[in-house]
């Protein structure tokens, strides 16, 4: 019979990867990557990250195999995230946002083979040129333009001014080869034909930039240490094969053809590289939350206090510290459940929008950002996971006292990563706004049905009660948002004014949708997973409901006194889990350097 500890380990690590693959991933990100030598200058630190990326890429399974196997790619990126957050970021860019478009949109294009092989062999490092510095929501309509040159058959790429510069990019290191996936608006025959991706060498083998490529290094930053730079393309000429055309073509007579529809549909399709990014970000969020929770437990276990109420009392006897430790463990298990959910293949009839399903209208409507049109639920879970990870990592740092801030850099680095991905990979607020718009308009969205309840006599330990509360809140918020926007439009307000006056409500509405999806995932995992999983996921559900108490009260979902009820339920859950804290953390199998004492005290 499988023990609780073994069952928890299997839940954390999944069952889709065999032992050989796991060993290969550990070889790709060895234990030495979990520490950074002291005394490095910023350029030295960047060089170390790229050297680690090269070693990891050569030791890991082939890139094509990884991109076709989400659990394997996410497992590799998880390990990179807990070892070295800058390495995770560089690896994510290289695999999913540089090589991914080449494989996806350049499939069948023999001309892309040299670029693809240079990325797969780590002879060149991949980067992304998408966001432009001078305008918000620049993804929707990049000012960087690609024009076909009939004389050569190729294209000319141009950024019209400094405000259209691509930033941020990881291109500042002067000595390393770089290949970029450049997002540009294709203008042909006097019309904008949509946003396409072009594969462009930005730096050669010695780091030299080709004619027309201007790279402007940004000031050094410590939040997430990357060689940031802005890139301007000044009439950069690329061959026809650099156009990752995804079936589109410009014929000998100059006629343009795109089998996937008009420009709006092409935008959604070109942004279809996002789902692998979101899966990886959710998985990394789970991984660094597990690592932070393990670090907080290691700091707290056996530590005594000198408080006058009870001198020499164990730190974890205090409710605030005990609940912080157990809450972090619960968040880690909850995000692990979400990560398992997003890396599990979907059935063909899954309701989420798939990139490229344009429909006659040219694709799902997009107001603030293109991400929800690609895959609403996955984008929403990315936003929710990064927020949860950031909150948990920050709490772990605070509850680790001065050592959590000053003795080791790891928690600060995790916090920098979670902060960065509030905006990177799709801005969280814009994802929430577009999700709310789809909810209000019932665009590929069906509100939860009203239910009589709550069930189980309102017992907060029951998953059915969590789901009832979450669904009721989501439906009420959605109905109120739709009503307010529709009323504003009927009163003659334009769409901007109608929505601009309701952005706070829109954010709460989309957040409620995310809560409901996550609680459904947790309820399913608790029902199907090992017995020991139920109590820890229950604690996270109660924590999540407590954080939403103000909204639940405001929408009339719960009566006054709910905070007292939730507090009592959380204390019961903590009392049940406290004796098992070490067992819960042990299932994470964290590498020794993660929870080791500060090296300078050894």
Per-residue burial over 504-516, b = 16 or more CB atoms within 10 Å of its CB, e = otherwise:
ebbbbbbbbbbbb
CA distances to 36, 288, 427 from 415, rounded to whole Å, are 17, 9, 17
What distance in Å separates the CA atoms of residue 145 and residue 511, rounded to the nearest whole number? 36
Residue matched to tokens 């995230």: 81
Burial of 80 (0-12, 13-18, 19+ CB in 10 A): buried
Read off the pLDDT of residues 183-199 as tens digits, 9 standing for 90 and up: 999 999 999 999 999 99
Q: Which of 589, 577, 531 is nearest to 329 (CA)?
A: 577
pLDDT tier for residue 355 given thresholds of 50, 70 and 90: very low
Average pLDDT score over residue span 552-576: 96
N-to-C CA span, the chain: 41
Is the predicted pLDDT of residue 311 greater than 90, yes or no? no
Q: What pLDDT sits at residue 354? A: 42
Q: What pLDDT sits at residue 348? A: 58
Average pLDDT score over residue span 330-352: 84
pLDDT tier for residue 223 given thresholds of 50, 70 and 90: confident
CA distances to 64, 100, 504 from 575, rounded to whole Å, are 47, 47, 37
Is the predicted pLDDT of residue 359 greater than 60, yes or no? no
- DSSP per-residue string spanning 426-473: S-HHHHHHHHHHHHHHTSS--PPPP----SGGG-TT-HHHHHHHHHHH
What distance in Å separates the CA atoms of residue 504 and residue 384, rounded to the nearest whole number? 16
143, containing H or E segment: none
What distance in Å separates the CA atoms of residue 500 and residue 494, rounded to the nearest whole number? 10
Average pLDDT score over residue span 496-506: 97
Question: Token digits for 271?
Answer: 């942004």
Name beta bridge partners: 191: 188
pLDDT tier for residue 487 given thresholds of 50, 70 and 90: very high
pLDDT tier for residue 356 given thresholds of 50, 70 and 90: very low
Average pLDDT score over residue span 100-119: 93
Q: What pLDDT sits at residue 108? A: 87
Is the predicted pLDDT of residue 358 greater than 90, yes or no? no
pLDDT tier for residue 363 given thresholds of 50, 70 and 90: very low
pTM across the whole model: 0.95
Least confidently predicted of 49-58, 355-364, 528-537: 355-364
Is the predicted pLDDT of residue 361 greater than 70, yes or no? no
Identify the three-state secondary structure at position 296.
helix
Is the predicted pLDDT of residue 347 greater than 70, yes or no? no
Q: What pLDDT sits at residue 1? A: 40
Q: Kindly state the percentage of the chain with pLDDT values over 90.
A: 82
Q: What pLDDT sits at residue 362? A: 42
Q: What pLDDT sits at residue 222? A: 85
What distance in Å separates the CA atoms of residue 291 and residue 589, rounded to the nearest whole number? 9
Among the ranges 127-136, 177-186, 361-370, which has the highest mean pLDDT value?
Answer: 177-186
Residue matched to tokens 């164990």: 314
Largest CA distance in the chain: 87
pLDDT tier for residue 2 given thresholds of 50, 70 and 90: low
What distance in Å separates the CA atoms of residue 589 and residue 292, rounded to the nearest whole number? 13
- Classify residue 182 by its DSSP letter: E
Burial of 220 (0-12, 13-18, 19+ CB in 10 A): middle
pLDDT tier for residue 54 given thresholds of 50, 70 and 90: very high
Q: Are 218 and 229 in contact (CB under 8 A)?
A: yes
Question: Token digits for 143?
Answer: 């000012």
Read off the pLDDT of residues 459-483 as tens digits, 9 standing for 90 and up: 999 999 999 999 999 999 999 999 9
For residue 533, report the phi and psi dihedrals to the nearest 5 degrees: -75, -35
């Amino acid at each position: 019979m499988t023990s609780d500890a073994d069952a928890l380990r299997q839940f954390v690590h999944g069952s889709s990867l065999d032992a050989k693959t796991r060993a290969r991933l550990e070889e790709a990100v060895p234990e030495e990557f979990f520490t950074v030598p002291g005394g490095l200058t910023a350029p030295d630190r960047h060089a170390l990250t790229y050297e680690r990326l090269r070693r990891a890429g050569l030791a890991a399974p082939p890139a094509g195999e990884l991109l076709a196997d989400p659990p394997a790619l996410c497992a590799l990126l998880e390990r990179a995230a807990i070892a070295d957050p800058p390495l995770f970021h560089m690896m994510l860019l290289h695999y999913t946002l540089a090589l991914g478009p080449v494989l996806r949109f350049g499939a069948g294009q023999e001309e892309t083979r040299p670029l693809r092989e240079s990325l797969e062999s780590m002879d060149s490092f991949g980067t992304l040129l998408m966001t432009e510095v001078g305008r918000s929501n620049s993804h929707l309509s990049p000012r960087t333009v690609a024009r076909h040159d009939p004389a050569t058959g190729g294209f000319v790429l141009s950024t019209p001014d400094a405000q259209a510069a691509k930033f941020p990019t990881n291109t500042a290191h002067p000595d390393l080869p770089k290949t970029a996936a450049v997002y540009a608006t294709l203008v042909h025959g006097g019309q904008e034909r949509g946003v396409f991706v072009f594969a462009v060498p930005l730096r050669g083998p010695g780091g030299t930039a080709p004619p027309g490529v201007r790279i402007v290094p940004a000031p050094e930053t410590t939040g997430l240490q990357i060689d940031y730079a802005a890139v301007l393309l000044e009439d950069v000429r690329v061959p026809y094969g650099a156009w990752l055309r995804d079936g589109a073509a410009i014929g000998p007579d100059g006629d343009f053809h795109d089998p996937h529809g008009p420009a709006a549909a092409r935008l959604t399709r070109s942004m279809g590289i996002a789902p692998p990014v979101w899966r990886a970000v959710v998985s990394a969020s789970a991984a660094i939350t597990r690592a932070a929770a393990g670090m907080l437990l290691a700091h707290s276990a056996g530590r005594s206090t000198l408080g006058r109420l009870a001198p020499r009392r164990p730190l974890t006897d205090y409710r605030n510290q005990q609940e912080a430790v157990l809450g972090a463990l619960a968040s880690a298990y909850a995000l692990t459940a979400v990560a398992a959910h997003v890396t599990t293949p979907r059935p063909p009839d899954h309701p989420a929008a798939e990139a490229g399903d344009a429909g006659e209208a040219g694709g799902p409507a997009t107001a603030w950002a293109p991400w929800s049109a690609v895959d609403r639920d996955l984008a929403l879970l990315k936003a929710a996971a990064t927020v949860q990870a950031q909150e948990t990592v920050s709490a772990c740092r605070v509850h680790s006292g001065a050592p959590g801030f000053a003795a080791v850099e790891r928690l600060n680095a995790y916090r920098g990563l979670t902060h960065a991905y509030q905006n990177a990979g799709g801005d969280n607020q814009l994802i929430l706004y577009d999700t709310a718009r789809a909810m209000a308009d019932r665009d590929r969205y069906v509100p939860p049905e009203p239910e009589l309840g709550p069930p189980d006599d309102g017992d907060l330990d029951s998953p059915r009660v969590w789901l009832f509360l979450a669904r009721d809140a989501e439906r009420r918020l959605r109905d109120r948002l739709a009503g307010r926007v529709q009323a504003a439009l009927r009163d003659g307000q334009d769409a901007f004014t109608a929505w601009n006056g309701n952005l706070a409500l829109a954010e709460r509405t989309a957040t409620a949708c995310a809560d409901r999806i996550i609680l459904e995932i947790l309820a399913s995992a608790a029902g199907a997973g090992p017995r020991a999983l139920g109590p820890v996921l229950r604690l996270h559900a109660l924590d999540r409901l407590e954080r939403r108490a103000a909204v639940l009260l405001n929408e009339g979902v719960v009566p006054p006194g709910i905070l007292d009820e939730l507090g009592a339920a959380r204390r019961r859950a903590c009392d049940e889990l406290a004796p098992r804290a070490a067992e819960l953390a042990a299932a994470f199998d964290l590498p020794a350097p993660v929870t080791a004492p500060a090296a300078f005290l050894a």
